[in-house]
Amino acid sequence: MSGKTDALLSTLRLQPVVPVIVIDDAKSAVPLARALVAGGLKAIEITLRTPAALDAIKAVADEVEGAVAGAGTVLDAKQWDLAVKAGSKFIVSPGAGPAVLDAADQSDIPLLPGTATATEIMTVRDRGYSVIKFFPAEQAGGAPYLNALSSPLNGILFCPTGGISLKNARDYLSLPNVVCVGGSWVAPKAMVEAGDWAGITRLAAEASGLRS
């Protein structure tokens, strides 16, 4: 597990914000990813919420220099296998069900498992995880909740996702147990549909400077 943890941390530490992207049209994946990379956001989570997601991951993995494509909203072993075959370098799940954890055990690709409670965090900790997604962050207690966990669950690092924006990202990033945050605000649907890649690069650059 230590090797996969190191690989995951090296990806998450590329930037303070990991874009969480929903792709409706696979043709937009490459220019979108290039815009994000140009703004300093290299690790990109493409969620498996649309039929275009797997094609989008493959396109980004194959064609976008500097991008580290990951798959989000992975719920089971079948989705895991499809995401890895498409070129995903990391996998993100909203929760930590046994099907996903078992698939991760059989794979060289690192998993960022989702948790929302101390019990869930302890459960994945017992499976060898020390880098964990906190989701849905704002609805589950926000930065104050994560801060409260920093002492009793010392040694666990989090990537909070859900309800995070430019306005509250620093609240999370200032915590000692937060390695990065996940956010969708860097690629708004309207800007993607309009092909406003320069605008998305500006948002990405703003996000990448949150820890500077």
Per-residue pLDDT of the chain (212 residues; tens, 9 = 90+): 679 999 999 999 999 999 999 999 999 999 999 999 999 999 999 999 999 999 999 999 999 999 999 999 999 999 999 999 999 999 999 999 999 999 999 999 999 999 999 999 999 999 999 999 999 999 999 999 999 999 999 999 999 999 999 999 999 999 999 999 999 999 999 999 999 999 999 999 999 999 85
What local confidence, expressed as pLDDT, does residue 184 receive? 97
CA distance 175 to 38: 27
What is the number of domains present in the chain?
1
Q: Cβ(146)–Cβ(128) under 8 Å?
A: no
Confirm whether 212 is domain-assigned.
no
Kindly list the catalytic residues: 45, 133
Query: Quick check: is 35 in a domain?
Result: yes
CATH number reported for the structural domain that contains residue 62 in this entry = 3.20.20.70
CA 40, 44, 50, 51 dihedral sign is: positive
Cα 50 to Cα 22: distance, rounded to the nearest angstrom? 7
Range of the structural domain that residue 48 is part of: 2-206
The two tokens of residue 91 are 């996998």
Nearest-CA neighbor of 161 among 131, 182, 186?
182
Tell me whether residue 151 is exposed, middle or buried, using C-beta atoms within 10 angstroms of its C-beta: 0 to 12, 13 to 18, 19 or more.
Answer: exposed
| Within a domain: 52 | yes
Does a structural domain hold residue 139? yes
Rounded to whole angstroms, the Cα distance separating 81 from 2 reads 22
Asked if 192 and 208 touch (Cβ cutoff 8 Å), the reply is: no
- pTM flag (> 0.95): yes
Q: What is the pLDDT of residue 212?
A: 59
∠ Cα 194 195 198 (to 5°): 120
Locate 19 and state its tokens.
């874009």
Q: How many CA atoms lie within 13 A of 70 on its CB side?
A: 26
Residue 161 per-residue DSSP state: B
Residue 22 lies in a domain: yes
User: Quick check: is 211 in a domain?
Assistant: no
Q: Is residue 67 part of a domain?
A: yes
